[in-house]
Structure 1
Amino acid sequence: MMYNRFSAITIFFLLFLLSSGIQATPVSDTVSLHISALPEQEGIYNIKKYGAIGDGKTDNARAIQKAINAASAAGGGKVIVPSGGVFLSGPFDLKSNIEFCVEVNAKVLANPDEKVYIKSAFRDNKGEGTIWIGGENLVNVTLCGAGTIDGNGISFMGAELEDSYVLKPFTNVDPRPHLLTVVAGKNIRIRDLNIVNSAYWTVHLIGCDDVAIDNITLLNSLKVRNSDGIDLDHSKNVRISNCYIESGDDCICLKNRREYEEFGPCENITVSNCTMTSRSCAIKIGSENMDRISHVVINNCIIKKSNRGIGIQNRDEGTVSEVLFSNIIIDSHLFSDVWWGKAEPIYVTAYARASGNHKDAGWRFPKGEIQGRVGEVRNIYFSNIKCTSENGIYVGGESVGKVSGITFDEVDLQIGKITPIKGGLYDRRPANVEGIIKGRTSAFYIDKADGVKIRNCAVTWAGHKADYFAHVLETHDSGELKIINLEGESAFPGKVEAIKHYGRQ
């Protein structure tokens, strides 16, 4: 009787397993369970179960969206892009309460067909790209995994030039897709991912609150213009750490775009332990800033082979204040005029935006206005920064008081020729004053700034000295200046003064 009852229970259990879709194979006197993938009850949503094919040719946007929608509808879950496949995809949207996990040796690849990208990255301003991976009003979203999200950027470019790609002409909509655009997100996490080859901005976070970006490798072609790495737009309470970023345009950029003005200031931002390379500016604040950017700390970073190192480029009525840069190594050198910047390792400026017939000029100024104005840049601190460059630090504003309270403490510069490109230039684009101006290369060039403090800094000149190399410090029409222990000689002692003042001081 005991044996018969056990047999009945065993048969019932096996029938239950078969009806549940779980395979059971007896081995010796035991039962081994082979679970292909537990159904949605366990919160796992493999995109292959929704029809995705990882052949690098089939567009999987619908299958990916189905998996995301199913996870969201169930209250949340993990959407898996499984290892071993290249999953081509057109645009799709993230949803709240999901973890989008790209497994190791898996790739999500942007569809190179420009016609599938129709949603503007900037609402009614259609001239600055479209959205590939998007999402609005998101809560509790994580993008992670050791796999790759690939924007397929070169597919959207024109002919290759020596240091850039030609941008294809368009009439109304620029089809180049931004890789990831999140609008009004809260508790957003991006970690442990490879994000590569964006055709336009890569990670664009708009009006987001409580964001952590950690341990990502972000590699764009250094020849792709507008290929920013991470853009924080009207966002707050953001932490970026332990990232490696290469991008043709700015690696990390803080801004307040006019298209999303309802989201308010960009504030409470920390960046730490990152390594960056850029043809434009590795760390930039601006140039679009119609609100306030404040309370920013950037620490323990390395900037290599960049054009500009650190840039505050205020061009609109918004303000920039309470920003601290510390413990940074900067290596910068000259590139062609395609890229903004003239190898300034540190650049702090406030000039009203230039008016003109740029394709999106109507979106650059306050509604109904055709000329811009610029807000103040104040209380900016640089501490323990070591610079090697072909140019010096540039601090300038359109009038005294627009830039004030700038402190350089233990900021050392070594200036020398690295490229055959001629220097002796400073780049103020886009501004209502002359864009690229000729001037001698001085280690500190201060133009119409007030309350500048230079403390415990040193300047050296290395290798061949260009004939336009000049002073340790040069000021033009500037206000209060405090110098405490500034070491160094001019590029040509006995012929050129170490410190030279022009105008008020």
Structure 2
Amino acid sequence: MKRKIFISCIFLIAIITASSAQKIYNIKNFGAKGDGKTDDAVAIQKAIDACTKTGGTVFVPAPYTFLTGPFNVRSNIELFVEGGARLLANPDEKVYTKSAFRQNPGEGMIWIGGENISNFTISGTGEINGNGISFMGAELEDSYILKPFSIKDPRPHVLTIVGGNNIRIKDIHIGNSAYWTVHLVGCNDVVISGITLLNNLKVRNSDGIDLDHSKNVRISNCYIESGDDCICLKNRREYEEFGRCENITVTNCTMTGRSCAIKIGSENMDTIRQVLFNNCIIKKSNRGVGIQNRDEGVVSDVVFSNMIIEGHLFTDVWWGKAEPIYITAYRRASGNNKDANWRFPKGATEGRVGEVKNIYFSNIKCTSENGIYVSAESNDKISNVFFDNVDVKIDKTTAITGGVYDRRPCAVEGFVKGSTSGFYFDAVKSITVRNCSVQWGNNKPGYFAHVIESKNVDSLKIVNAEGQAAFPEKMDIIKQ
């Protein structure tokens, strides 16, 4: 017993010694007021710049609110926001001058930025608040109007790290963003765990976590509410030198999104591969899981397993038509976007779409106003898609008209009318539906239809599909 106590004491002394050696830089000691009125950006930057020279912790103390304009984080520091403390974005649009997308200023500015940094951590149970509503126009029924601008969209992204290595974001409350919340570009070795990310569900473009050309990322145990996509994987053209987005795992997360809770694309000029989503819950979303390829990049080797997806319709402000699972491959629309010149390869006025292949869904329970939708511009674009133990229940729960699929942004028709079937396949090849079921709720409009509906499908394999047509007296279970 004495030996065990002695060993424990040695470990305790080691922890205390390590802790005392860690340098702590309290931002108030560098002049931060924390009165919620004074812009403390200069003081915060001084604390960060001092800390990066020695390594250590930049301490944001409670119970203060630190109003702040843009500042940059550095290598070898931990930004610790104490419980009860808050970093609040300055609502003055004029202080945001650095574009989140380099020479493309049309999609927001940077609030908290970092470039080519290593060994950086954000932690603590305090709050990083983007002050999002301050940058919005008038409030509508289910969204805010976006303020007009000519060249530069002044809305700030909360956190943008470009070229980061060994990045850790844990336990923090982060959100109320006017644009994207956590944008990691070209980052490697990233862990995001236990965060609460809450954006106003009426704020358009307020993505939760965007992984852009990033690799070896682990996201776990997070709760996310977003007025756009909750977790999105992409390869933006502005950062093409960083290459693929790959080796991504997402586990034990709960998400609510007004567009797509989990999205791959639509910006993808490279390759997105080796991705795993497991043990996740999606609630009250306009679209559950979406692979939305619109550029020349490839999406391959993606697994979704052990998930509950709950969706329903929202207005056309938001992308999606309540599809619990959605896979599409269409060329991007040309010239109809504020930043259209940044969407295509240099010198091109139109694009092409790459392949989506080797996509697996297993043990997924879906409840929504629409069914699963897989569609491409030609049947050589989507292949090897597997649905195993995927159950779909379709019921009409809102007054918004359905019987429509949303293919935006694409070079052909954006909204396509069609019957609502449990599984709807259009111009794809090598699809397997195994041990799946479809149920219909009590509210069945006339456009509710089949268990499986397929058009121009090359090699559809169905094994043990259960259910009946919405109106079995006049419809077939399977329509091919």
Q: Give the TM-score taking structure 1 as reference length.
A: 0.91
Specify the SS of the correspondent of 1:260: helix
Is 1:273 matched with 2:263? no
Cα distance in structure 2, aligned partners of 1:42 and 1:190:
19
| Deviation for aligned residue 1:258 | 0.1
Q: What amino acid sits opposite 2:80 in the alignment?
A: C
Is 1:252 matched with 2:231? yes
Deviation digits for residues 380-413 of structure 1, max 9, x if unmatched?
0000000000000000111011000000000000
My pick for the range that moved more, 355-364 or 54-63, is 355-364
Cα distance in structure 2, aligned partners of 1:247 and 1:315:
22
What residue in structure 1 maps to residue 454 of structure 2? 475
What residue in structure 2 maps to residue 238 of structure 1? 217
| Deviation for aligned residue 1:41 | 7.2
The share of aligned pairs that are identical, in percent, is 70
| Deviation for aligned residue 1:358 | 1.5
Cα distance in structure 2, aligned partners of 1:271 and 1:376:
23
**1:147-158 counterparts in 2 under 5 A?**
147-158=126-137
Cα distance in structure 2, aligned partners of 1:440 and 1:421:
15
Q: What amino acid sits opposite 2:205 in the alignment?
A: N
What residue in structure 2 maps to residue 53 of structure 1? 33
Contact kept, 8 Å, 2:330 with 2:376, in 1: the verdict is yes
Cα distance in structure 2, aligned partners of 1:317 and 1:165:
33
Which of 160, 183, 191 does residue 204 from structure 1 map onto? 183
Deviation digits for residues 14-69 of structure 1, max 9, x if unmatched?
xxxxxxxxxxxxxxxxxxxxxxxxxx975100000000011110100000000000
What residue in structure 1 maps to residue 96 of structure 2? 117
Specify the SS of the correspondent of 1:343: coil
What residue in structure 2 maps to residue 33 of structure 1? none
Task: Call closer, same or farther: CA 1:41–1:240 in 2, change over 3 Å.
Answer: closer
Is 1:78 matched with 2:57? yes
Is 1:428 matched with 2:407? yes
Which of 49, 52, 59 does residue 69 from structure 1 map onto? 49
Is 1:442 matched with 2:421? yes
Which of 195, 198, 209 does residue 216 from structure 1 map onto? 195
| Deviation for aligned residue 1:83 | 1.0
| Deviation for aligned residue 1:353 | 0.3
Cα distance in structure 2, aligned partners of 1:477 and 1:297:
29
Specify the SS of the correspondent of 1:344: coil
What residue in structure 2 maps to residue 290 of structure 1? 269
Deviation digits for residues 407-426 of structure 1, max 9, x if unmatched?
00000000001111110000
What residue in structure 2 maps to residue 21 of structure 1? none
Q: What amino acid sits opposite 1:147 in the alignment?
A: G
Q: What amino acid sits opposite 1:46 in the alignment?
A: N
Contact kept, 8 Å, 2:22 with 2:57, in 1: the verdict is no
Contact kept, 8 Å, 2:397 with 2:443, in 1: the verdict is no
Cα distance in structure 1, aligned partners of 2:382 and 2:21:
58
Q: Give the TM-score taking structure 2 as reference length.
A: 0.95
Give the structure with higher Rg (CA): 1
Deviation digits for residues 88-113 of structure 1, max 9, x if unmatched?
00000000000000000000000000
Cα distance in structure 2, aligned partners of 1:433 and 1:496:
29
Cα distance in structure 2, aligned partners of 1:42 and 1:498:
66
| Deviation for aligned residue 1:146 | 0.5
Cα distance in structure 2, aligned partners of 1:87 and 1:49:
13
Is 1:304 matched with 2:283? yes
Is 1:44 matched with 2:37? no
Is 1:494 matched with 2:473? yes
| Deviation for aligned residue 1:357 | 3.5
| Deviation for aligned residue 1:433 | 1.3
Cα distance in structure 2, aligned partners of 1:266 and 1:193:
25
Specify the SS of the correspondent of 2:438: strand
Unaligned runs of 5+ in 2: 1-19
What residue in structure 1 maps to residue 67 of structure 2? 88
Specify the SS of the correspondent of 1:71: helix
My pick for the range that moved more, 310-319 or 491-500, is 491-500
Cα distance in structure 2, aligned partners of 1:139 and 1:355:
38
Specify the SS of the correspondent of 1:486: coil
Cα distance in structure 2, aligned partners of 1:228 and 1:340:
13
Specify the SS of the correspondent of 2:458: coil
Which runs of 4 or more aligned residues in structure 1 lie more than 4 Å from their structure 2 counterparts after TM superposition? none
What residue in structure 1 maps to residue 320 of structure 2? 341
| Deviation for aligned residue 1:132 | 0.1
What residue in structure 1 maps to residue 12 of structure 2? none
Specify the SS of the correspondent of 1:437: strand
Cα distance in structure 2, aligned partners of 1:100 and 1:333:
38
Is 1:356 matched with 2:329? no
Is 1:313 matched with 2:292? yes
Specify the SS of the correspondent of 2:48: helix
**1:316-327 counterparts in 2 under 5 A?**
316-327=295-306
What residue in structure 1 maps to residue 394 of structure 2? 415
Cα distance in structure 2, aligned partners of 1:478 and 1:433:
19
Cα distance in structure 1, aligned partners of 2:338 and 2:88:
29
Cα distance in structure 2, aligned partners of 1:395 and 1:315:
14
